[in-house]
Each structure stands twice: as C-alpha cells, then as structure tokens.
C-alpha cells in the first residue's frame, strides 16, 4: 500500500513514519535504540533533503521521536513547539514586492487608514511603526504587489496564543492556548506537534494479556467515516480489533445520549452552549468567563459512551480514537472521572495499523452499528444543532433557536453577542475546527468532501432516532 | 441474578432492543422484578450467534453445565424470548 497518498501533507507523512517506527520497535524490540537508529532510517543521507544539513535533519527527527514517545512531560499542554524545527519564518507583515510599479493612482496610499504608506522614488514604502496590518493595501493594489507575510502558525491561531521570541522561534502561551491543534496542521515545517500517547496505549494492550486480565475497548469518533481512504469503516473496525482491542464502540452512541441530555437541559435553562468540543469549552473558560454558566453540563459523547461501557464492564480500559488534539487534554480533566484511559489520533491509528503489518483492505468486515443518525452527524458542524432541534421537538419542547458556530472566528462573533445580551439565538453549538470534527486537526485528510461521507454514514444507521440509545442509558441508570 | 443482553453492533442489528423490551415485559409478567436485574452489555463475544443473553450471579446453581455461576444463551429473539426465559432462566431462580 502506498501510504504517501493517504495524508494531505508531507509533514503528516513524516510524523507518521516516525510514529510507525516507534510503534514497530515497541513490539519487535529496539525501542531503546530509537534515538540513534530511527533518524538514520528517516533521513538516510548522505545529503539532507529537508534542512540545511543532514545533522540538523536527523536532530529534528530525534525531537519527533520524543513527541511520539510522549513529549515534554513537564508541559501540561499537548501541543508543543519543536524549537529546532521552527524555521524562523519572516514576520515582516505587509511587504511591498518588486512588482510595485509606482503607479499614479496609488490605491494603497489612499486606502491606508493610518497613513503608513508613502511613495518614495516611485515605489510604495510602508512605515512599520504606523502599519496596523489591516491588509487593505494588499486588496486594492492593481498589481497585487503588496503581500501580507504572516507566520502560518500565528495566522492559524485564532486565539493569538502563538508569539515569536527574540530568536524568532514560535512560542505557545499555555494560558491562552485552547489545544485545538490548528497550528499543528498548518505549520509547513512541522515544527508544532501534538504529543503522542501511543506507547501508553501499547502498554495497556500488552498488560491486558490479550483481554484476559481486563478488556480494552476502543471508542471511535464518527469522523472516522471520512478517513477510510483505504478500505471501509467496517474493515477499519476489524483492523482495530487486530491491534488487540476487545471491542470497538461508536462514540456516536454516547452522542445520542448527550443530545437527550442537552435537549432536556435546554428545556430548563432556555439558554445554553454545547459542551462536546473540548477546545470550544476551553475557549469560553479562557476568553468569555462571564458566560461559563451557559455551558451545558452534559458530558461529551466520549464520556457518555465510556460510562455505558464501564457500566457493563467495570474493569474495562478505554481508549478514545479521534481527530482531536484537545481530547488528549479532556481525558485528563477531573470532570471526566478518568473514565478514559488514553487517546489516540487517526494519524496514530494509521501508523499503528501499518506498523503491525495489518492491511486494512484485506480485512473482513465487522459491523459497527449502535448509534442513531443524529449521533453520527455530530462529526460535522451543524450536526448537534439539527439533533437538538429535532429531539426537543419530539419531547414537546418548543422555542429552540439554534446557531452553529464553525471555527473559533464564528464562535467569537456569536459569543460576543451572547455576552452582551444581544444574541437572537438561545442554543449555541460551538466547534473549534472549521467544519467540525470531520476537519479535525489530527484527521488524516481534510477534504471538503468529507462532510458528504458523514451524511451518508448517518443515513446508514439502523436507528433513525435516539429513542433506543436513550433506553439503553435509562436501563443502565436504573440498575 | 443479572440478565445481560448484548447490545454490541452485531446483536444490535439482530434486534437487541426488541429482546430487551421483551425481557422487561417477561420479568414483570413472572413477577421477579426484585430478583432480576436487567442490563445491557457490550459484545459478549458471540457475534455470529446473536442475540446473546448472559445470565450472571446465579446463586447455588443446580444445573451442572453452569460454571462460575454464569450461563450464555444464544440466538435469542423477541419471539423465543419468553420460551427461553421460562425454560432456561426462571428455574435458576430456585423459587
């Protein structure tokens, strides 16, 4: 199988190669020699291909190995900058390129609200002390001669948590960061990465003694459906079981129950935000403390599903598999009662499956069908909104006026209105990733078509309503 | 006694919820609600023979083939649930 085609970017592929090699060694031996041997496998030399010299290239691979093995344990954030991988991108902001013809109309000068542009020797010159980087000049130049040079990491970070230090290296402010992972996907040098918990997961699997000592369950996020470029979801489920998991359960089942709780909670509160996206919750906590009271107290689908599993199997160990960096934070929070033992990304799943020599395309099918249509469309922005509106209606609750906020920029606008009491809506669905989980930072692919896969998968569910999932929940509550 | 109905994907598609509903009604009908705890379980490991029902915490089993106080019953559906309950589960209550 040609794995290079699986990923969107070469950075993802590089991360995958390192992960795969680390995982392979965890099973076949040689983990202790990882730091000396893996860099030479990834960058065989003698000439460097990606960096200034082969030594730096290999040193960066060593840093990636460290991330694959859990990263800096003293840093509570799951997203970290690999210092030496940061290419110190230019941070000049608005830049006049040689394409400037020194025209007579000089729209740039006219449009600048701060008077920062003057024409010197028939060329536009920007006074950096006055420029506020609004970007208007870049839009009006007839020759598109003015460009905005922003760091991709800084630009991707919608909460302005990334700054540049005196050595021009990117630095993440943990107090501001919401661990959404946007920078992880956007840095063209792969200098910002998420820590992997895959070695912990391997120990959980190994210590289960083939599910005899305790059983290991995988909860899989519904966004998986858009990620199966090789093979079907049903084959991926078989592949996950081949890794040593006892059983695979859809997080969408928990999503059904979350919907039920949220609809009920809304009928009491009448003004509420969702709580499924951990980055969105962190965003409110850090940037809109005044409206924390509106966050739904309903547990996330991951946690609801885990509660169902633990109820039927109290000694179960549970690993969540999804597209999300922030879930790697959420599972550690006290409010989740440590129901989840670890979290694996889709990227890591791909590496794990390949490291174990499992060819997904050759797997038989294992059905995965517990959740309803509504639970499954949680993966896309607008999914919860649709679910809550319909569920509330079926409960006889009227008056839900929902808004689905896709990405932090939309969240910011709507939450600001909510904060100042100017919002027309009363149910706020927030997702930190634009488009929802289906476009999550640790998705293998981020195609705009992914959302169609989610709809199709939703329609394939046996259960068209959440009724039976709720019955299951109630059955467990009773006993 | 615990009666655990498998709600793993495979059994779910074969009608776990119908079996659960049926079991609820039967337990009521036989007036053993205080003695039996009806639960749902994720995959009991017999995907090809679903719906599987597991009977747990059987006190003083008289039937020999029951080891560890557990009994697995396969191929349960809403139509045969009552017959299975009457023949295989009810006697285990030693009433």
Q: Strands B2-6 and B53-56, how do they pair?
A: antiparallel
Which among A313, A366, A370 has the least Cβ separation from residue B7?
A: A370
pLDDT of residue A478: 67
Classify residue A358 as exposed, middle or buried by CB count within 10 Å of its CB (0-12, 13-18, 19+). Answer: middle
Tell me how far apart the alpha carbons of residues A312 and B3 are, in angstroms, rounded to a whole number. 11
**Domain boundaries A93-149, CATH class:** alpha beta
Q: How far is B7 from chain A (nearest CA, A)?
A: 8
Tell me how far apart the alpha carbons of residues A8 and A64 are, in angstroms, rounded to a whole number. 19
The answer to whether the CB atoms of B39 and A370 lie below 8 A apart is no
The pLDDT tens digits of the residues spanning A153-194 come to 999 999 999 998 888 899 999 999 999 999 999 999 999 999
Tell me how far apart the alpha carbons of residues A393 and A26 are, in angstroms, rounded to a whole number. 51
Mean pLDDT of A370-399: 89
Q: Kindly state whether A43 is in contact with chain B, defined as any CB-CB distance less than 8 angstroms.
A: no
Q: Classify residue A449 by its DSSP letter.
A: T
Q: Which two tokens stand for residue B44?
A: 């009991």
pLDDT of residue A359: 92
The answer to whether the CB atoms of A370 and B12 lie below 8 A apart is yes
pLDDT of residue A133: 84
Q: Which residues of chain B lie closer than 8 angstroms to A246, CB-CB?
A: 43
Q: Which residues of chain A lie closer than 8 angstroms to B7, CB-CB?
A: 370, 472
pLDDT at A471 over 60: yes
CATH of A70-89+153-195, one of 3.30.360.10, 3.30.70.20, 3.40.30.10, 3.40.50.2300: 3.30.70.20
Residue linked to tokens 């020759």: A143
Question: CA dist B8 to A169, A309, A371, A376, B13, Å?
Answer: 50, 11, 11, 16, 9
Mean pLDDT of A369-381: 90
Specify the CATH architecture of the domain A198-478: 3-Layer(aba) Sandwich (3.40)
Report the complex ipTM.
0.84
- A211 and A241 Cβ atoms separated by less than 8 Å: no
Residues of A (338-367) whose Cβ lies below 8 Å from B:
366-367
Mean pLDDT of A243-257: 94
Mean pLDDT of A258-277: 94
For B92, what's the count of Cα atoms within 13 Å in the CB-facing half-sphere? 27
pLDDT of residue B64: 58
CATH 3.30.70.20 residue ranges in chain A? 70-89+153-195, 93-149
pLDDT of residue A394: 87
Q: Which residues of chain B lie closer than 8 angstroms to A471, CB-CB?
A: 17, 20
pLDDT at B29 over 80: yes
Q: pLDDT-derived band of residue B56, with 50, 70 and 90 as boundaries?
A: confident
At a CB cut-off of 8 Å and minimum separation 6, what does A303 contact? A254, A336, A337, A339, A340
Residue among A154, A156, A104, A114 nearest A134 (CA): A114
Domains and CATH numbers, chain B: 2-93 (3.40.30.10)
Tell me how far apart the alpha carbons of residues A442 and A15 are, in angstroms, rounded to a whole number. 11
pLDDT of residue A138: 93
Q: pLDDT-derived band of residue B60, with 50, 70 and 90 as boundaries?
A: low
Quick one: closest CA in A to B17, which residue? A468
Residue linked to tokens 């309950």: B85
Tell me how far apart the alpha carbons of residues B8 and B47 are, in angstroms, rounded to a whole number. 8
Question: CA dist A36 to A14, A44, A59, A199, Å?
Answer: 17, 12, 10, 18
Question: CA dist A343 to A34, A93, A199, A476, Å?
Answer: 23, 38, 11, 25
Tell me how far apart the alpha carbons of residues A447 and A433 are, in angstroms, rounded to a whole number. 13
Helix, strand or coil, per DSSP, at residue A112? coil
pLDDT of residue B3: 92
Q: How far is A94 from chain B (nearest CA, A)?
A: 56
Which among B4, B10, B13 has the least Cβ separation from residue A312?
A: B4
pLDDT at B63 over 70: no
Which among A249, A471, A479 has the least Cβ separation from residue B42?
A: A249
Tell me how far apart the alpha carbons of residues A42 and A217 are, in angstroms, rounded to a whole number. 32
> Residue A120: in which H helix or E strand, if any?
strand A117-120
Q: Strands A192-194 and A79-81, how do they pair?
A: antiparallel
A268-282, A381-395, B14-28, range with the lowest pLDDT: A381-395
Helix, strand or coil, per DSSP, at residue A334? helix
Q: Kindly state whether A311 is in contact with chain B, defined as any CB-CB distance less than 8 angstroms.
A: yes
Distance of CA A368 to the CA centre of its chain: 23
Cα dihedral value B30, B36, B37, B43, nearest 10: -90
Residue among A435, A429, A431 nearest A447 (CA): A435
Mean pLDDT of B50-66: 75
Question: CA dist A45 to A13, A21, A85, Å?
Answer: 18, 18, 18
At a CB cut-off of 8 Å and minimum separation 6, what does B24 contact? B38
pLDDT of residue B67: 64
Backbone phi and psi for residue A344, each to the nearest 5 degrees, phi listed first: -125, 140
Which among B4, B9, B38 has the least Cβ separation from residue A370?
A: B9
With vertex at residue A239, the alpha carbon angle to CA A233 and CA A240, rounded to the nearest 5 degrees, is: 90
Helix, strand or coil, per DSSP, at residue A158? coil
Q: How far is B12 from chain A (nearest CA, A)?
A: 6
CATH 3.40.950.10 residue ranges in chain A? 198-478
The answer to whether the CB atoms of B39 and A311 lie below 8 A apart is yes
- A281 and A408 Cβ atoms separated by less than 8 Å: no
At a CB cut-off of 8 Å and minimum separation 6, what does A94 contact? A126, A131, A133, A135, A137, A138, A146, A147, A148, A149
Q: How far is A221 from chain B (nearest CA, A)?
A: 15
């Amino acid at each position: 199988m040609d794995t290079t085609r699986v990923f969107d970017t070469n950075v993802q592929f590089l991360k995958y190669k390192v992960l795969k090699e680390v995982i392979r060694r965890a099973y076949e031996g040689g983990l202790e020699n990882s730091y000396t041997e893996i860099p030479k496998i990834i960058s065989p030399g003698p000439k460097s291909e990606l960096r200034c010299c082969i030594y730096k290239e290999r040193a960066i691979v060593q840093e990636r190995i460290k991330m694959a093995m859990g990263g800096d344990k003293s840093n509570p954030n799951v997203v970290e900058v690999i210092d030496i991988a940061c290419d110190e991108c230019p941070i000049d902001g608005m830049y006049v390129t040689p394409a400037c013809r020194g025209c007579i109309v000089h729209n740039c000068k006219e449009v600048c609200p701060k008077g920062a542009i003057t024409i010197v020797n028939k060329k536009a010159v920007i006074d950096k002390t006055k420029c506020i980087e609004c970007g208007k000049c870049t839009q009006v130049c007839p020759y598109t001669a003015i460009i905005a040079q922003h760091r991709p990491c800084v630009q991707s970070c919608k909460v302005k948590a990334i700054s540049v230090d005196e050595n021009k290296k990117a630095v993440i402010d943990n107090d501001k960061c919401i661990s959404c992972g946007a920078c992880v996907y956007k840095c063209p040098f792969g200098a910002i990465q998420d820590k992997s918990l895959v070695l912990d997961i391997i120990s959980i699997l190994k210590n289960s003694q083939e599910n005899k000592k305790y059983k290991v369950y995988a909860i899989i996020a519904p966004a998986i459906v858009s990620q199966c470029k090789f093979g079907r979801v049903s084959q991926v489920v078989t592949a996950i079981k081949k890794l040593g998991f006892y059983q695979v359960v859809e997080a969408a089942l928990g999503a059904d129950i979350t919907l039920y709780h949220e609809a009920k909670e809304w009928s009491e509160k009448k003004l509420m935000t969702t709580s499924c996206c951990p980055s969105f919750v962190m965003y409110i906590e850090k940037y809109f403390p005044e409206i924390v009271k509106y966050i739904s107290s309903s547990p996330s689908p991951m946690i609801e599903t885990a509660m169902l599993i633990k109820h039927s199997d109290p000694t179960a160990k549970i690993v969540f598999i999804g597209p999300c960096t922030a879930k790697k934070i959420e599972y550690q929070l006290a409010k989740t009662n440590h129901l989840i033992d670890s979290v694996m990304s889709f990227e890591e799943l791909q590496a794990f499956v390949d490291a174990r020599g499992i060819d997904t395309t050759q797997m038989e099918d294992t059905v995965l069908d517990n959740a309803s249509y509504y639970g499954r469309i949680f993966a896309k922005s607008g999914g919860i909104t649709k679910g809550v509106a319909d569920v509330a209606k079926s409960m006889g609750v009227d008056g839900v006026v929902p808004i689905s906020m896709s990405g932090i920029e939309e969240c910011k606008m709507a939450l600001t209105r909510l904060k100042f009491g100017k919002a027309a809506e009363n149910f706020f669905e927030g997702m930190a990733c634009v488009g929802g989980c289906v476009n999550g930072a640790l998705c293998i692919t981020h195609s705009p078509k992914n959302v169609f896969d989610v709809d199709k998968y939703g329609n394939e569910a046996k259960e068209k309503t959440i009724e039976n999932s709720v019955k299951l929940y109630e059955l467990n509550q009773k006993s | 006694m615990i009666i655990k109905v498998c709600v793993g994907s495979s059994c779910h598609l074969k009608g776990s919820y119908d079996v659960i509903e049926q079991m609820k009604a039967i337990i009521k009908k036989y007036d053993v609600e205080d003695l039996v705890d009806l639960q749902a379980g994720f995959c009991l490991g017999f995907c090809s023979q679903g719906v599987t029902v597991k009977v747990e915490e059987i006190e003083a089993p008289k039937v020999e083939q029951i080891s560890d106080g557990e009994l697995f019953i396969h191929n349960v559906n809403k139509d045969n649930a009552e017959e299975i309950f009457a023949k295989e589960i009810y006697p285990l209550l030693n009433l």
